[in-house]
Structure 1
Amino acid sequence: MPIALITGCSSGIGRALADAFKATGYEVWATARRPEDVAALSAAGFIAVRLDVNDSLALEQLAASLAHGGLDVLINNAGYGAMGPLLDGGVEAMQRQFETNVFSVVGVTRALFPALRRNKGLVINIGSVSGVLVTPFAGAYCASKAAVHALCDALRLELAPFGMQVMEVQPGAIASSFARNASDQAEQLINEQSPWWPLREGIRARARASQDNPTPATDFAADVLKAAQQANPPRLLRLGNGSRALPLLAQWLPKGLLDKVLSKRFGLNTSL
């Protein structure tokens, strides 16, 4: 039985991926941070593991558990979206964003490398089209996903000599709790002392943007599974509403015109 380990399985994309792989016959190790989510995953028949992807000791323990059976598929899915003006969040917010969305990709993959090497496994990293089309009020998140794209390119080349493959998935709008969590993050940052306080509705609009006509998470997971089972999985897989159109806008629309479109969309076409 092939083994898959998926991070961030409490809901949304992660849980849909866990369900899809399990239904196809994989032994799925599903991780989450909160005890109640781990309990729910266990009750659903997964090998549920409580894991903070930035906890090096927990990663060592997880690697030891997989040492004998190896690992066929690793999906680095854990992450979140920090919303709000870059200068309001500052360096501290950037550090938190990169720790979860970027550093953990390296940390988890490094810890599980021996198990992956044993089975010549596949590493799937969940990026975002936001790493291609950068939008205001999501600068930290967009930067983190652009970094994931760069890491995928490097890892694909570096893991190839071991018979391992890397696939990057760039979702567009996928039905999940992302928008709710992003909105919660934004509300923690929005305050009357911010120079961007008059533009707070634009910040809120950006936090909700990921749920504009979203693709069902089950459809997304089915397509990821199908690609993962190919002998040569694609290097880059774009799925969900906007996943193809938005990168094309970023590539072909003149930068000045794109700036105007985004400024109007998020209320930045004004003077403060």
Structure 2
Amino acid sequence: MPTTLITGCSSGIGLATARALKAAGHEVWATARSAEAVARLAAEGFTARALDVTCPTAVQALAAELPALDVLINNAGYGAIGPLLDLPDSTLRAQFDTNVLGLLAVTRACLPALRARRGLVVNVGSVSALLVTPYAGAYCASKAAVHALSDALRMELAPLAVRVMEVQPGAIGTQFAANAGAQAELALREGSPWWPLREHIRERARASQQHGSAPEAVAAAILRALPRPPRVLRVGRGSRALPWLARWLPKALLEGLLRRRYGL
């Protein structure tokens, strides 16, 4: 029975993937930050653990429980939405602590267990790593970092027989937009030069979920890919079209379209 650890399982992609892999016969260690979410996961039959990926002590304690690990899925993350220069340093640090440094901390701590099984690291990125939009600069930058780190880890872990796959979802119907909207409201303030554009900022917070694919589609794609994982797995609405636009449209044209859409 394969053993899989998944971070960020309170809802969305993490929860859907935990359920799909458990149904496929994996022993799933499902983690979440809140005690309430952990209790729900335990009630579903997962090996449930509380985990804040930004807490080194918690990360090390969880890794110590895992003598061997077949799959690590770094899914924990969120989106800080708002004009970059309106975001306080604490918000920017929290964005990278969770989406980037937390991913590295968990992978580092789990490396001995992964080596014991010639395991697989799955990093959940985003097409936002490739197509940067206004008002999501912090989130896009964090996912661009995940993309670069995944490429570097793939090469560095190859001699250790540990593989790396990056998942780049498009629009997915999860709690992401609601959480991003709450983050956007925290950034909005009347004295900002972007205050007159506040409805466009709110629109960007909602955009990640508009007509989104079900998180179960991402979970199913990850499950299918596990036997022969590609370097990058794209799934969900816009996951192929948006990177294509970012690659082939002239930058000036693309930026002009995005500026027009978001009131700039």
TM over 0.5: yes
Offset of 1:255 from its aligned partner? 0.8
Say which is worse superposed, 89-98 or 182-191, in terms of deviation: 89-98
CA drift at 1:90: 3.8
Letter in 2 for 1:21: L
- What residue in structure 2 maps to residue 102 of structure 1? 100
Separation of aligned partners in 2, 1:92 and 1:177: 22
Which sections of structure 2, spanning at least 5 residues, go unmatched?
none
**How far off is 1:94 after superposition?**
1.5
CA-to-partner distance for each residue in 1:203-252, whole Å, 9 max, x for gaps? 0011000112111111110011100122xx10001110000000111111
Distance in 2 of aligned mates of 1:11 and 1:243: 21
Q: CA deviation at 1:260?
A: 1.0
In the alignment, which residue of structure 2 is the partner of 1:88? Answer: 86
SS at match of 2:208: helix
Indicate if the aligned counterparts of 2:120 and 2:163 stay in contact, CA closer than 8 A: yes
- What are the Cα deviations for residues 5-64 of structure 1, in whole angstroms up to 9, with x where unaligned? 000000011000000000000000000000000000000000000000011111111111
In structure 2, what residue type is equivalent to 1:138?
A
User: Whole-Å Cα distance in 1 between the matches of residues 139 and 173 of structure 2?
Assistant: 18
Looking at structure 2, the residues matched to 191 and 101 of structure 1 have their Cα atoms a distance apart, in angstroms, of 25
Structure 1: stretches of 5+ with no match in the other structure: none
Aligned to 2:218: 220
User: How do 1:1-272 residues align onto structure 2 when only pairs under 5 Å count?
Assistant: 1-67=1-67, 70-230=68-228, 233-268=229-264
Residue 251 of structure 1 aligns with an amino acid whose one-letter code is R
Return the alpha-carbon distance in structure 1 between the equivalents of residues 60 and 188 of structure 2.
38
Q: What amino acid is the match of 2:248?
A: W
Once residues 217 and 194 of structure 2 are traced to their aligned partners in structure 1, the CA distance between those partners, rounded to angstroms, is: 37
SS of the counterpart of 1:66? Answer: coil
Deviation at 1:190, TM superposition (A): 0.8
The superposition leaves residues 53-101 of structure 1 with CA deviations (integer Å, 9 ceiling, x where unpaired) of 011111111111102xx00000000000000000000432221100000
CA distance in 2, matches of 1:204, 1:228: 36
Query: What amino acid does structure 1 have at the position aligned with 2:181?
Result: S
Look up the SS of the partner of 2:254 in the other structure: helix
What displacement does 1:267 show?
0.8
Q: What's the secondary structure of 1:251's corresponding residue?
A: helix
Paired residues of 2:81 and 2:205 also in contact (CA < 8 A)? yes
CA-to-partner distance for each residue in 1:122-172, whole Å, 9 max, x for gaps? 000000000100000000000000000000000000111111100000000
| Equivalent AA in structure 2 for residue 35 of structure 1 | A
Give the Cα–Cα distance (whole angstroms) in 2 for the partners of residues 110 and 254 of structure 1: 39
Q: For 2:128, what is the secondary structure of its paired residue?
A: helix
CA distance in 2, matches of 1:154, 1:131: 15
Supply the AA of the counterpart residue of 2:2. P
1:254 is matched by which residue type in structure 2? P
d(CA) in 1 for partners of 2:128 and 2:154?
A: 21
> Take 1:106 and 1:218, find their aligned partners in 2: how far apart are those partners?
26
Q: Is the CA contact (8 Å cut-off) linking 2:217 and 2:235 kept in structure 1?
A: no
Provide TM-score, normalisation by structure 1.
0.96
C-alpha RMSD of the superposition? 0.7
- Percentage identity across aligned positions? 63
Paired with 2:2 and 2:170, the residues of 1 have a C-alpha distance of 28
How far apart are the structure 1 equivalents of 2:11 and 2:227? 23
What amino acid is the match of 1:245?
Answer: A
CA distance in 2, matches of 1:253, 1:64: 48
CA distance in 1, matches of 2:144, 2:151: 11
